[in-house]
Amino acid sequence: MASNRENLRSGYTTGACAAAASRGALLALVLQRPVAQVAIHLPADQTVTFALHSCTFTRSEGRASVIKDAGDDPDVTHLAEICSRVTWEGGEPGVLFRRGVGVGLVTKKGLPIPLGEPAINPAPRKLIAEGIREVLAEHGLADRGVAVEISVPKGEELAKKTFNPRLGIVGGISILGTTGIVVPYSTAAWLASVTQEIDVAVAQGIKELVLAVGARGERLARQLIPLPEEAFVQMGPFFGDALRHCARVGVEKVTLVAMIGKLAKFAAGNESVHSTNSSQDFAFLADVARSAGANIALIEQITRANTAQEVSELVSGAGLHEFFDAVCRRAWEFASTFLHGALTLDVYLTSQDGQVLAQYPRPQDDLSQRNIS
């Protein structure tokens, strides 16, 4: 399907593919013949047709698969085979979900799926179940129970490139998707992984979290702050959303650790520091430097700088370390707009080589100042 966003092509989620494969598998079982394609109605209020990659049947089961097309999105599951095996299940009518090879197992609390269940999220479960019930009703079989086993042959390897290991989802990928459609370069799934990681930590009883932008920042944060592994969250560019979610779910303390490029964007009032949402504000950095005592020559150099890292080198060369303190304080003050007194916050500004350039509140500050109000 065509996307209106920069002429990029949209695709379909693993959840939509699993629903199509399940419908095809059940039809093959009921009709006792292979099916070439199926149509499903997506939550996005759109009916779409999927070609089945494979479809087989016996008297007791139907099997079908779909090759996931993520469109122009750089999705790790693009071209993965999403398979479904459908069998009759004795007892009450309904749909029972089973975990096949390459689909993750939920092993930690805090996710929308109970412990011990296959990592098939609620929206895909609903989509699959609705399709199953439609087929059963159309063929006079509404009183039958059905078991659906979803598998992804290369899912365990693909999962290593996702957040699943950090979320306590082991052995494979998650079957995801709220609308059924993958929007190219959308950050929705990325943000959902960040908030789920916070939820998992809180569900383990962890009340103090450390938010770092990425893996490099997390490695440094682990050296600075002695906390359990689950306490460290890679928030990506979602500073505001991550802080807001921490306050919402009852986190008691957050330590924000970032380098100058991302922290300066946040301090300037950008709750998302993704390159598509914000750019570096050198006028802001010049104003911070002015408030820290920079002379006119240095201020002019900052306004002409190309990167925040260049600004960092300029102020370091001038011995203006108060600049880093001021950036930290501005970031802390902006963070307060998301927290409303719900938790305690520390902000660390680090250098590329792992040094702590500044911290707010500083260790000698009155501890009462650390609480956002």
pLDDT at 134 over 70: yes
Mean per-residue pLDDT, 31-40: 98
The answer to the question of residue 133 being in a domain is yes
CA distance 117 to 19: 18
Pairing of strands 37-42, 46-51: antiparallel
pLDDT recorded at residue 6: 55
> 22 and 128 in contact (C-beta within 8 Å)?
yes
CATH number of the domain that residue 149 is part of: 3.30.2110.10
pLDDT recorded at residue 187: 84
Is the domain of 68 the same as that of 101? yes
> 351 and 357 in contact (C-beta within 8 Å)?
yes
Is the domain of 172 the same as that of 220? no
Is the domain of 135 the same as that of 206? no
* Residue 349 C-beta-side C-alpha neighbours within 13 Å: 29
Is the domain of 240 the same as that of 322? yes
pTM over 0.85: no
Return left, alpha or beta for 326; rule: phi > 0 is left, psi -120 to 50 is alpha, else beta. Answer: alpha
Domain containing 229: what range?
188-370
The answer to the question of residue 2 being in a domain is no
The answer to the question of residue 336 being in a domain is yes
Is the domain of 230 the same as that of 105? no
The tens digit of pLDDT for each residue in 216-246 reads: 899 999 999 999 999 999 999 999 999 999 9
pLDDT at 364 over 70: no
The two tokens of residue 115 are 């412990």
Is the domain of 137 the same as that of 156? yes
User: Domain total for the chain?
Assistant: 2
The tens digit of pLDDT for each residue in 190-200 reads: 899 999 999 99
Is the domain of 131 the same as that of 198? no
Name residue 344's beta-bridge partners. 253, 371
- Alpha-carbon radius of gyration of the chain: 25
Q: Which residue has the tokens 């925040």?
A: 308
Is the domain of 192 the same as that of 300? yes
> 361 and 346 in contact (C-beta within 8 Å)?
yes
Name residue 173's beta-bridge partners. 103
The answer to the question of residue 3 being in a domain is no
pLDDT recorded at residue 340: 84
